Amino acid sequence: MNNEKIIVFTDLDGTLLDHSTYSYSEAEDALRLLKEKRVPLILCSSKSRVEIEVYRERLSNNEPFISENGGAIFIPELYKGLKCEFDKIDNGYLVIEIGSEYKTLIDAFEQLKRNTGANIKSITEFTVDEIVELTGLNKEEASLAQKRKYTLPFIVNGGEEHVKNIKNEILSLGLNYTEGARFVHLMGGNDKGKAVKVLVDIFKKNYPETRIITIGLGDSLNDLPMLEAVDRAFLVKKESGNYEERIKTEGLIYADGIGPVGWNKAVLGLFSR
Ligand SMILES: [Mg+2]
């Protein structure tokens, strides 16, 4: 009897997905191996629910997932008979909400503009064409990216000094922020790590006899709490070929490759010994 279960948590943009093309083709071998081994692959992204659903479908992934930097956890109803507490049932998912109410964030963002006078623009204020230009997403994907519920990604037009001001102001409003590869994310008390811990706890309670080993893969600062929350953390290289230098955590493993290339090697390596 095998009493060990591996669960893989992964970031999408710049990690499983190439930063520019959003392709995961370089990671196909490892993705196939995870399927063969029946290892749950949990997508844990700053993307919105509807954006992640597109990738779940492409990947034929039926696992729970975490949206908007830990803003919410979505567990398919009837998923492996898993029992847990949840906030609501929506669209066939048990939803556990960790992030702030969206209206709180919208109000805070307006206040942020007034208080700092900074030139900032949220993802919902850009046109779809502008988001396409900014991100390289196609039009459909860009409009899905605007469907936020728990976090508000925005762009700062200005230098480091502006960014610092804005960050201080966010904290003084009692909110929080993190950084992905393109956007700063305004959010409440959620982060990827908190959501990962809640979900791992649910797995552990439902499988008390099983030793659960958690793997995490990320590339950017917003992945740090997730990488701290897992048993084995992998950092992939950014598009520039460098690792995010602000990510430091005990036992961090530097995956040898940019985005999905590093992802593929890291995941294949898990099963090679
Ligand atoms: Mg990323």
The CATH number linked to 263 is 3.40.50.1000
Pairwise CA distance, residues 81 & 218, whole Å: 29
pLDDT at position 68: 96
| 10 alpha carbon – ligand 1 mean position (Å) | 9
Q: What proportion of the chain, given as a percentage, has pLDDT over 70?
A: 99
| 188 alpha carbon – ligand 1 mean position (Å) | 19
| 153 alpha carbon – ligand 1 mean position (Å) | 13
| 226 alpha carbon – ligand 1 mean position (Å) | 12
| 36 alpha carbon – ligand 1 mean position (Å) | 26
| 111 alpha carbon – ligand 1 mean position (Å) | 28
Pairwise CA distance, residues 154 & 143, whole Å: 15
Is 226 inside a domain boundary?
A: yes
Is 194 inside a domain boundary?
A: no
pLDDT at position 159: 84
* Per-residue model confidence as pLDDT tens digits over 90-138: 999 999 999 999 999 999 999 999 999 989 999 999 999 999 999 999 9
Is 232 inside a domain boundary?
A: yes
The model's confidence at residue 160, banded by pLDDT at 50, 70 and 90, is confident
Catalytic residue among 11, 13, 18, 223: 11
Same structural domain, 93 and 13: yes
Same structural domain, 42 and 168: no
Query: What CA–CA distances, in Å, run from 193 to 56, 87, 123, 197?
Result: 21, 19, 24, 6
| 30 alpha carbon – ligand 1 mean position (Å) | 18
CA atoms within 13 A on the CB side of 110: 5
Pairwise CA distance, residues 186 & 195, whole Å: 17
95 three-state secondary structure: strand
Same structural domain, 180 and 223: no
- Dihedrals φ, ψ of 256, to 5°? -90, 80
Q: Are 166 and 116 a contacting pair, CB within 8 Å?
A: yes
pTM above 0.85, yes or no: yes
Is 205 inside a domain boundary?
A: no
pLDDT at position 195: 98
Q: Which residue range forms the structural domain that includes residue 44?
A: 4-98+210-270
* Per-residue model confidence as pLDDT tens digits over 191-242: 999 999 999 999 999 999 999 999 999 999 999 999 999 999 999 999 999 9
pLDDT at position 2: 63
Residue 87 known to be catalytic: no
pLDDT at position 158: 85
pLDDT at position 1: 47
Pairwise CA distance, residues 192 & 163, whole Å: 22
Query: What CA–CA distances, in Å, run from 248 to 5, 20, 235?
Result: 26, 25, 10
Is 195 inside a domain boundary?
A: no
Angle at CA of residue 63, ends 96 and 154, nearest 5°: 60
Domain's final residue, options 187, 222, 238:
187
Which candidate, 48, 79, 49, places its Cα nearest to that of 64?
Answer: 79
| 11 alpha carbon – ligand 1 mean position (Å) | 6
Q: With DSSP H G I counted as helix, E B as strand and the rest as coil, what are the percentages for the chain, rounded to 5?
A: 40, 25, 35
* Per-residue model confidence as pLDDT tens digits over 3-53: 999 999 999 999 999 999 999 999 999 999 999 999 999 999 999 999 999
pLDDT at position 187: 96
* Per-residue model confidence as pLDDT tens digits over 1-15: 469 999 999 999 999
Which candidate, 15, 2, 61, places its Cα nearest to that of 34?
Answer: 61
Same structural domain, 88 and 106: no
The model's confidence at residue 181, banded by pLDDT at 50, 70 and 90, is confident
pLDDT at position 121: 96
Total count of domains within the chain:
2
